[in-house]
Amino acid sequence: MSIGKITEFKVQSENWNLYVERLEQYFLVNKIESDLQVPTLITVMGAESYELLVSLCTPDKPHTKSFKELTTIMANHLQPKPSELAERYKFRHRKQGEAESISEYVAVLKKMSKTCDFGAGLQESLRDQLVCGIKSETIRQRLFAESKLDYTKAYNLAVSLEAAEKDAAMVVGSAKASSEASLVDCQAVYGGRARRPAAAARGQRGWRAASRGAGTAAADRSRAQQGCRACGGAHDEAGCRFKA
């Protein structure tokens, strides 16, 4: 019984090189010898991709060629090798996106480097583009300050610094929100206290005025009830016309 399963190759949506890599591992784990690799490829690749392979091999038949020859023929058709200079140009101009983490950015750089043919200079190229392409100027300056900075050290340090920046921003944001909430609470408390004494003062002033008015009226009534000593009439003596 075979281990694993190789599905049909989808010409329009799949990567041929990745399909071949999986197929080679399938051969390895199932101990499929070289003389059976071409028949296995033709069997599992599916009708659409086999029809394409037949056309590419014409006038020869696919089964007359080796596994390596068949996979190369398909690769040259489906994924022709791009210009090395053009790919390196795109690599050198790839910058970290605003919503992209450093780890995501480096993953893209590694994928792009596959078509750049950096060879032994791959690690150095990744390091240089990581340092030059990150969006944080603070992290870049910190990396510049490091001596003997290789790719691994640059990557680990950059990821750590990015995490620290995010944590610091989160703490500052939380503290700001807490401060604003406290300010609102204080305004509500002290604002209410300031208004209450003012209202009480107005009430006291009104009460005093009313009291004075009531006192004056009461005094007038008292004097009227006593009668005028000049003429004996029911009015205040001060306004009597008969007063001497």
Angle 178-181-183 from CA coordinates, rounded to 5°: 110
Q: Which distant-in-sequence residues (6+ apart) come within 8 Å of 96 by Cβ?
A: 102, 105, 133, 134, 135
**Residue at 49: amino acid letter:** S
Phi, psi dihedral angles at 242 (to 5 degrees): -95, 0
Q: Among 9-13, 61-65, 78-82, 98-102, which stretch is predicted with the lowest mean pLDDT?
A: 78-82
- Per-residue pLDDT at 198: 54
Task: For residue 6, give the nearest of 36, 34, 57, 42 by alpha carbon.
Answer: 42
Rounded Cα distance, 95 and 98, in Å:
9
Residues 134-143: what's their mean pLDDT? 96
Residues 167-181: what's their mean pLDDT? 71
The 10s digit of each residue's pLDDT in 46-82 is: 999 999 999 999 999 999 999 999 999 999 999 988 8
Angle 109-16-74 from CA coordinates, rounded to 5°: 125
- Per-residue pLDDT at 194: 45
Residue with tokens 């696919």: 62
Residue 192 has pLDDT above 60, yes or no: no
Tell which wins on pLDDT, 188 or 74. 74
Tell which wins on pLDDT, 194 or 132. 132
pTM of the model: 0.58
- Per-residue pLDDT at 169: 76
CA distances from 67 to 12, 41, 71 (A): 22, 8, 6
pLDDT band at 26 (very low <50, low <70, confident <90, very high): very high
* Average model confidence (pLDDT) across the chain: 85
